Amino acid sequence: MNQDLSILHLVLNASLVVQLVMLLLVVVSVSSWAAIFRKLFALNRVKALNETFEREFWSGTSMNDLFAAAAKNAHVSGPMERIFASGMREFQKLRERRITDATTLIDGARRAMRASFQREMDEVETNLSFLASVGSVSPYVGLFGTVWGIMHAFTGLASLQQVTLATVAPGIAEALVATAIGLFAAIPAVVAYNRFARDIDRVAIKLETFTEEFSNILQRNVSAQAVAPRQA
């Protein structure tokens, strides 16, 4: 009995539809684990790059030097550095056009940073919807396999004169394996989704805070430059 009801035996003797459901769930589970590890490494890299640039930004390094470094290392820079570069680039373009109005300068830089922020968040949130779909759909796919397997088992028992627990148990056990595999695929995806969503929210708050702080710095610089000629 133990050998007949082993997981491998149940899978190999399940109906074709249930086996296809199991195969689909296994593929989805492997894909979700791959997405989880990719997202974990990507978020850790984003956090490290943001922290490194933030330390350099508040260390007293000049804006021009930071902008030059950001332009030079654009392919390896983090989201915060790219947002800074986009705001600084737009600010300098407006200054080159001899625009002196402080509101126009700051609004232009802020719009550029907001657009860059949206692009960065789209990149950071990659594969998050896939994990949400796996977590929400996998149990129902497994349940479909279970229902189909139970229907198949009872259909096969219809021709028997005497039905005992020994004849019913294998068919039902085969069907329940599909639900188990569905839960095995869904639970890690749900846990990872909640963890990553929380981490991404923190990254977004940090980037938004930096955008406002950098805008305030630009505002002070413009105001100081506007006051200097009048004093002279």
pLDDT in tens, 74-92: 788 899 999 999 999 999 9
More confident site: 42 or 15: 42
Q: What backbone torsions phi and psi does residue 185 show, to the nearest 5 degrees?
A: -80, -35
Q: What pLDDT score does 157 carry?
A: 66
Q: What pLDDT score does 3 carry?
A: 45
Q: What pLDDT score does 29 carry?
A: 94
Average per-residue pLDDT in the chain? 85
Looking from the CA of 37 toward its CB, the CA atoms found within 13 Å total: 5
pLDDT in tens, 20-30: 888 999 999 99
Is pLDDT at 179 greater than 50 in this prediction?
A: yes
Q: What pLDDT score does 149 carry?
A: 81
Which two structure tokens, joined as six digits, stand for 47? 């956090």
Is pLDDT at 178 greater than 60 in this prediction?
A: yes
Is pLDDT at 167 greater than 50 in this prediction?
A: yes
Q: What pLDDT score does 112 carry?
A: 94
Q: What pLDDT score does 2 carry?
A: 44
Q: Specify the DSSP element, H or E, that contains 86.
A: helix 79-96
Q: What pLDDT score does 146 carry?
A: 86
pTM value surpassing 0.75:
yes
Give the range among 79-83, 122-126, 222-226 with minimum mean pLDDT: 222-226
Residues 6+ apart with CB under 8 A from 83: 113, 116, 117, 120, 207, 210, 211
Q: Are 198 and 190 in contact (CB under 8 A)?
A: no
Domain ranges of the chain: 7-11+18-231
Is pLDDT at 117 greater than 60 in this prediction?
A: yes
- C-alpha to C-alpha distances, 154 to 16, 157, 159, nearest whole angstrom: 16, 5, 10
More confident site: 118 or 174: 118
* Confidence band of 187 (pLDDT split at 50, 70, 90): very high
Is pLDDT at 115 greater than 80 in this prediction?
A: yes
Q: What pLDDT score does 165 carry?
A: 58
More confident site: 229 or 216: 216
